[in-house]
Amino acid sequence: MRAIRGLWRWRHNPLRRTTDLAEAWLALGALLLILVAAPLAGVLIGGLAQDALQRSVREQRLDRHPVVATVVKKADRTPLDPDPETSSGRDSHTRVIADWKAPDGTTQRDTVMAALNSPQRGDHFTVWTDLHGRVVGRPLDTATAATHAVLAGFGTAVACAGLVEGSRRLVVWRMVRRRYDRLDQAWSQAGPDWGRTGTGS
């Protein structure tokens, strides 16, 4: 409020330059855009992301099915993981050769990761498969999808606010550069006669 009152008083100040008033209005416009447009953009993008992600959740729930697999034997050795950060999430999993029955009725056998500490032949565990029995990732759950949508909306709002503020700073920088250029021109015209007024030379 103080900024708006100061801007209103600044309109009639005899010392103000046109560029000062333009900078003040530009700052007010940028503030309104950051407070109104950026959150609206975030809500819009977050809503669109939520719809798309929830549609994906529904599709994955239709396409992916949990089936019970039976351990045949432990796999010979675990291959080296190229990403060391993912290894911590897989420490509790062991590679095994397992059999399972696909939703279409066929019997499948493959090497999979089992959430078993010391798997023995005949142990059971759950794997997610598609309709043909191929192992797929666990489907996205509703809470994770909502979290991703919120992050997308928040990121959009922050990016919009940054874009508005960056644009404002660029425009102000150009205005200041133009003001200095005009000052340099005025100084170059008055500079040669500086200090010699009335000396008769």
> Who has greater pLDDT, 76 or 87?
76
> Who has greater pLDDT, 198 or 107?
107
**Mean pLDDT in residue range 104-129:** 86
Q: What does the block give as tokens for 104?
A: 């279409």
pLDDT value at residue 164 = 94
Quick one: what percent of the chain has pLDDT higher than 70? 79
**Mean pLDDT in residue range 113-124:** 84
Q: Which pLDDT band holds residue 85 (cuts at 50, 70, 90)?
A: very low
Burial class (CB in 10 A: 0-12, 13-18, 19+), 114: buried
The single residue listed with the structure tokens 């920088």 is: 173
pLDDT value at residue 47 = 95
**Mean pLDDT in residue range 94-106:** 87
> Who has greater pLDDT, 130 or 13?
130
Of the listed ranges 77-86, 137-146, 151-160, 171-180, the one predicted with least confidence: 77-86
Compute the mean pLDDT over every residue in the chain, rounded to the nearest whole number: 82
- Crossing angle (nearest 10°) for helices 2-10 and 18-32: 150
Question: How far is Cα 99 from Cα 70, in angstroms, rounded to an integer?
Answer: 5
Q: What does the block give as tokens for 60?
A: 């994955």
Residue 11 pLDDT exceeds 80 = no
pLDDT value at residue 86 = 47
DSSP H or E segment with residue 6:
helix 2-10
Half-sphere exposure of 29 (CA within 13 A, CB side): 12
Residue 65 pLDDT exceeds 60 = yes
Cα dihedral: 6, 11, 12, 16 (round 10): 90
**What backbone phi and psi angles, to 5 degrees, belong to 177?**
-60, -45
- Crossing angle (nearest 10°) for helices 18-32 and 142-190: 180
3-state secondary structure of 68: strand
CA distances in angstroms from 110 to 57, 75, 80, 98, listed in the order given: 26, 10, 19, 6
Most confident listed range (41-50, 91-100, 109-118, 183-192): 41-50
Residue 196 pLDDT exceeds 80 = no
Residue 143 pLDDT exceeds 50 = yes
Of the listed ranges 19-28, 86-95, 131-140, the one predicted with least confidence: 86-95
Question: How far is Cα 82 from Cα 107, in angstroms, rounded to an integer?
Answer: 31
